[in-house]
A and B are shown apart, each in its own frame.
Chain A
Amino acid sequence: MSEKALLVANPPSACKAIIFDADVCTSCLTCVDVCRTDVLIPNPQKGEPPIVLYPDECWFCGCCVDHCPCPGAIRMEHPLSQRAGWKRKETGELFRIGMKNPPLPNTKPPVC
């Protein structure tokens, strides 16, 4: 157990909104370019994923995820206070966004 404790302020917002996978992200900055609210900034360390500077201003439009050329590099998560749930009609089982051990993904593509 580390004894190091950091002097930090509270997180700026109820949720992170946007999360990067540094192993997949190529730092192309496409997400930074399309964000309408300018929530993301280029990381001063070249090659690292962008910094989510203003998660509190995120409008959750999903354009950053939509335009990212590397699947898995960026994901968007709605806050816990906004996670929807559903019921499986045949079994009555309940599921929700963000649960542990979620069901298998539905991979059917949208109509577009």
Chain B
Amino acid sequence: MADHSLTPTAEWPYPVNYGKENIVTADVLILGGGIAGCHAAVHAARRGAKVVVVDKGPVIRSGSGGAGVDHWHAACTNPCSTVTPEEMMEIVKVFGDYSYHEYGNGITCYIQCKESYDALLDLEQMGIKVRDVDDQFEGADFRDEKTKLMFAYDYVNRTCIRVNGGAKVKVALYNELKRLGVQICDRIMVTSLLTEEGRQGGRVVGATGVNIRTGEFYIFNSKAAILSMSVFAGQWVFSTEISGLSSIFNDPNNSGDGTAMAWNAGADLALMERSGKGLSSGFFRYPPYGTGDHNNTWFACTIVDANGKEIPYVDRDGNILKTVSDRYRPAPGQKYFMYGRMGPKEIWGPGLIPDLAERIANGEYALPLYADLPGMPEKERRAIWGLMIYNEGKCSIIYDNYCKAGFDPDKDMLQLPVMPPDQYGRGPAWETYGPRQWREGAFGGGGGIVFDWDLKSTLDGLYVAGSQQYSGGTHAHAAATGRYAGRKAAGYAKQVQMGPMNRKQIEAEKARVYAPVMRNDGIGWKELRAGLCRVMQDYCGEFKSEPILKMGLDWIRSIRESEAPTAYARNPHELCRVLECHTHMTIAEIIMQSSLARKASSLFLDFKRLDYPKMDPPEWHKIVTIRQENEKVQVGELPLKYYLLPPYAPGFAENYSNHSEL
């Protein structure tokens, strides 16, 4: 239909009204209606607050968790768990996918351990089965006969629950929001925070937004606001040519809008200098979970080589495991395991032999490898292909399409992608691999907004939940922190009046938002987006130094001056894409400024400075914070364990008791 060689004449199918203002008021304004935002909305509404949820997409299915969930992590308080929240905190110190050691945040880690299971029970009340209510897994190793809860990974210690019906958690949340009378503003991109007197650092009194179908302007006035727009994604890697926005692992709507607007409003950010090798986002991968594998959703599937030779699993200490059942048990002398060989060695789980790469390279194991589902015990097989692959995000289409194409896990072994030997065992097989300059904002541990035991940012009136915080985490983390933030924001809203909005600030934002629709030609959003990614790859890649970072900042300044002001939008959808480029420019600046501020390399943060090559010198074992004050960058710091130091209590339980408002 769309024909780019001729002047388009077909009209946009929605009624467009650029500049028309819609005013919405809320006690609790939730910016980002994903998992964290929806759990926040439920709990704020239950406390009597007038709640408004705003999302760039349709809340019924939006967000990284909107397409489903299979694992519910850190459900320490479930009746079958042998690990208390305090015990988990002791060994893990921090929790979140791929995030560990001191740079994680103990506050949200503890909240997750305390409330993850409660959030799952909330979902059960909303109609998600959770348990094996249809008795499809009676007698299975991973099922508790009394509660019918099903567990993943460590079947002895049982802190991670497999979620029956997890495919539809978002639909259940959406229906609950409607039942509670929450006002849902779908397809509105939040573009800025409004502050008292329009001042950077002032109390947050609302937000602005633009409808991505009609182009209408939204002005939200709030007593309390919660930012829950997740961690930035797609900052280093962008291409729609090869596989669409599927190439971004997280929700492609997660451009980092929340982080950028918090920065513009003067909030403190942390860990923005942290990034990881682009494992989750890249061009040359396969559909997530859609190849044979042995990690997370596929744990612990038997893997065989091209000749049917089985590749052994070992426990944490390298002992070969003889049975499938052994793969779901801790090693002798090990208290419990989480998953994979990540984090502290105490919690490493079973995995394939660690020297698999060498043994492929020397010909001992022949490629390609296959996931031997037929060789798995029947209930484990059905759990992987049927429960996990179906309910996990973006997996219902995998299950449906592959089964329709004749794939039968009772008979068939799904192939792992063919890769150079040294890529095996590094992560999920479907991710494959990419060039070193393709990085990402550390899934589950990326930079974001600084917060306290109230999940309050450094700005009055602004709370944070989910992966929007610095060092965010899993689906369960989003749910747990969401419900906590919802309570806190509702509590604050009861104590304050609506904040006055500043018309000058609103007008300035309207001018910025609509500038692209005044133009019909210039740089297209895709070119701008890819160009920004190129700057990140070159000047903010794996290896950094002061001159390089400053060149990167200058590139962004130059793009802001030259190409960006020519970006055009021919309809509200394109306008959203252009505005996302604005966000990416701001995120680029924040990352580079944060990188300049940390004058030491860090193994923990995967942060390499050519001009400060010493890894983790003790004087840099701290959180570096960064914010804008009068448009100038201010660098600060926090002790790694600031949340257990004055003014807080020295223990997690006491702080939780003081702040959680249960």
Contact = CB atoms under 8 A, between A and B. Distances in A.
Interface of A: 7-9, 12-15, 17, 33-38, 41-42, 44, 51, 53-63, 65-67, 76-79, 81-82, 84-90, 95, 97-99, 102-108, 110-112
Nearest to A89: B374
Contacts of B10: 44
Given A42-B13, A89-B412, A111-B386, A81 B67 contact: no
A103 B394 CA distance: 24
Contact of A89 (B11, B253, B402, B413): B413
Contacts of B394: 59-62
- Chain A CB within 10 A, most for which of B129, B308, B404: B404
Interface centre among A33, A65, A95, A106 (most CB of B within 10 A): A106
Contacts of A90: 411
A24 B398 CA distance: 22
Contact of B212 (A38, A42, A106): A38
A99 B165 CA distance: 31
Given A14-B242, A78-B290, A95 B61 contact: no
B452 to A, nearest CB: 32
Contacts of A104: 406
Given A14-B242, A60-B394, A105 B66 contact: no
A84 B66 contact: no
A36 B412 contact: no
B411 A37 contact: no
A78 B382 CA distance: 24
A44 B403 CA distance: 35
24 contacts: A9-B4, A12-B2, A14-B244, A36-B57, A37-B57, A37-B253, A54-B573, A56-B244, A57-B245, A58-B246, A60-B244, A62-B400, A63-B66, A81-B242, A84-B415, A86-B292, A89-B412, A103-B406, A105-B405, A106-B403, A110-B387, A110-B390, A111-B136, A112-B164
A87 B413 contact: yes
B406 A102 contact: yes
Interface in B362-398: 370, 372, 374-375, 382-383, 386-387, 390-391, 393-394, 396-398
Most buried by B among A13, A106, A112: A112
Q: Is the interface of B mostly helix, strand, loop or mixed?
A: loop
B58 A33 contact: yes
A38 B287 CA distance: 20
A18 B260 CA distance: 33
A59 B251 contact: yes
B290 A105 contact: no
A13 B66 contact: no
Contacts of A57: 240, 244-245, 252
B1 A53 contact: yes
Q: Which of A35, A37, A86, A89 has the most CB of B within 10 A?
A: A86
A94 B218 CA distance: 55
B286 A82 contact: yes
A42 to B, nearest CB: 5
Given A8-B3, A62-B396, A86 B413 contact: yes
Nearest to A97: B405
Given A57-B245, A63-B66, A78-B401, A110 B386 contact: yes
A89 B302 CA distance: 13
A38 B408 CA distance: 33
A58 B244 CA distance: 6
Nearest to A65: B397
B69 to A, nearest CB: 12
A90 to B, nearest CB: 7
Given A86-B407, A110-B396, A111-B390, A36 B62 contact: yes
Contacts of B67: 61-63
B603 interface: no
A95 B407 contact: yes
A14 B241 contact: yes
A35 to B, nearest CB: 7
B363 to A, nearest CB: 20
Interface string B130-146: 00001010000000000
B168 interface: yes
B475 interface: no
